[in-house]
Amino acid sequence: MKPESTPTNVILAVIRGELPLSTLSEVGVPVAFTEQSCEVETETSLVVTPSANDIVCGFIAHKDHPHDLKQWASFVMAASQLVDFEKLELHEDCDRLIDALWDASFAGKFDRSIILSLSMMG
C-alpha cells in the first residue's frame, strides 16, 4: 500500500531517500541548487521532525552516489524552515550525525562508520 502523498509524508520520504528531491516541488517546496548552496523556498508553515533513523536511511540511500548525497544533505541542512531536528537532538549520536550531514553537504562524502553503527542499532 502506497502511503498517502501529503506534504509531510513526501518531505519525510525525501529525507529517508525514498523519493527524489524533485518530488518536493510537487508539494510546494521548490529547491534550487548552485555550486555552493541550496535554496529552499516555501510559503508553507509545515514542519517535519525526522528521527535519527530517517536521516540514517537517507544516508544509506545516497551513500554510493556522491552528487545525489551532496544535494540531499544540502537540502536537509538548508531546509531549516521545514525540518526540525528535535528528535535528532535527543539521539545520543546527534553530533556525529550532524557532522556527517555537514561533510556530505560540502564534500559529497562522510564517515560511513556512523551510519554502519546506527543502522546496526536498528
Number of alpha carbons in the 13 Å side-chain half-sphere of residue 110: 30
Predicted confidence (pLDDT) at residue 1 exceeds the cutoff of 60: no
Instruction: Give start and end residues of each alpha helix (H) in 7-85.
Output: 7-15, 52-62, 66-78
User: Is residue 1 one of the residues assigned to a domain?
Assistant: no
Domain residue limits at 67? 7-28+41-121
User: Has residue 36 been placed in a domain?
Assistant: no
Average confidence (pLDDT) over 38-45: 80
The counts of H helices and E strands in the chain are 6, 2
**Regarding predicted confidence, which is higher, 45 or 62?**
62
How confident is the model over 7-37, as pLDDT tens digits?
899 999 999 999 999 999 888 888 888 877 8
Domain count, the chain: 1
90 in any annotated domain: yes
* Domain presence at residue 75: yes
53-92 pLDDT tens trace: 999 999 999 999 999 999 999 999 998 888 999 888 888 8
